[in-house]
Amino acid sequence: MKVLIVHAHPEPQSFTAALRDQAVTTLQAQGHQVQVSDLYAMQWNPVASAADFSTRENPEYLVYALEQRLGVKKQSIAADIQAELDKLLWADLLILNFPIFWFSAPAMLKGWIDRVLVSGVCYGGKRFYDQGGLAGKRALVTVTLGGREHMFGEGAIHGPLEDMLRPILRGTLAYVGYEVLAPFVAWHVPYISDAARREFLLGYARRLNGLGEEQPLVFPKLAQFDEALYPLS
């Protein structure tokens, strides 16, 4: 299996980085090929803009998704985007590895998503969910956060973590066709002991060793809807 880990944390010594390293070690030990995109180390540009295209279909008005679609065909898309898109298409499994910032992902990762999940390749028209451009691949979200586990869930102070991650799990990964696995969560990590952190790392290694047996989360399939995308009765 070929694996791309997209890592987004500003501190190289963070526990999020330790999870990244654990994933690399565990997956390579299983014989898998692994590439890592460390967005902060790469000084990744998160800003989607007209500068992402060396030539434009419409130089007067930027429709970013349309320019993406044409930019890939004409090889006019920015080199940093093309390099990441090549990795994405190479990989059978995508791991997004990041801390929760303000109920969401770091801006660096959001910018990677905006620029790399290119229209016309990853999605477009009715090429979404099970018909998305990345159908047949799998994705895993690995997150760290400061909150305790009991603070998340139905009736909890912050609500379900799945609701917080919905824009990524459903609106991004499932939308472009990935089979999305349940997220791996390391809770309360800034405040726990080294022994507790080691337990998370061991649990993550066990999880990665068993990914082949996991069933993905359930999302809509286009066959459940008519041509106008109304649900079939």
* Cβ-contact 219, 170 below 8 angstroms: yes
What are 35's strand-pairing partners? 4
Q: Give the tens place of pLDDT for each residue, 90-144.
A: 999 999 999 999 999 999 999 999 999 999 999 998 999 999 999 999 999 999 9
Residues 6+ apart with CB under 8 A from 65: 119, 124
Number of H helices, E strands in the chain: 6, 6
| Mean pLDDT along residues 38-61 | 96
Q: Strand 2-7 and strand 179-180: pairing?
A: unpaired
Of all residues in the chain, what percent carry a pLDDT higher than 70? 100
Cα 55 to the center of its chain, rounded Å: 28
Catalogue all structural domains in the chain, each as residue range(s) with its CATH number.
2-224 (3.40.50.360)
At 126, which amino acid appears?
A: K
Residues 6+ apart with CB under 8 A from 24: 5, 34, 36
Which token pair is 8? 């987004």
Q: What is the predicted pLDDT for the residue at 56?
A: 94
Q: What is the predicted pLDDT for the residue at 233?
A: 76
Q: What is the predicted pLDDT for the residue at 228?
A: 93
Q: Give the tens place of pLDDT for each residue, 53-104.
A: 999 999 999 999 999 999 999 999 999 999 999 999 999 999 999 999 999 9
Alpha-carbon gap, residue 170 to 125, rounded angstroms: 17
Q: How wide is the angle at C-alpha 22 spanned by C-alphas 8 and 202, nearest 5°?
A: 125
At 139 the three-state DSSP class reads: strand
Q: Give the tens place of pLDDT for each residue, 192-221.
A: 999 999 999 999 999 999 998 999 999 999
CA distance readout (Å), 142 to 19, 61, 95, 187:
8, 37, 7, 11
Alpha-carbon gap, residue 134 to 138, rounded angstroms: 9
Of all residues in the chain, what percent carry a pLDDT higher than 90? 98
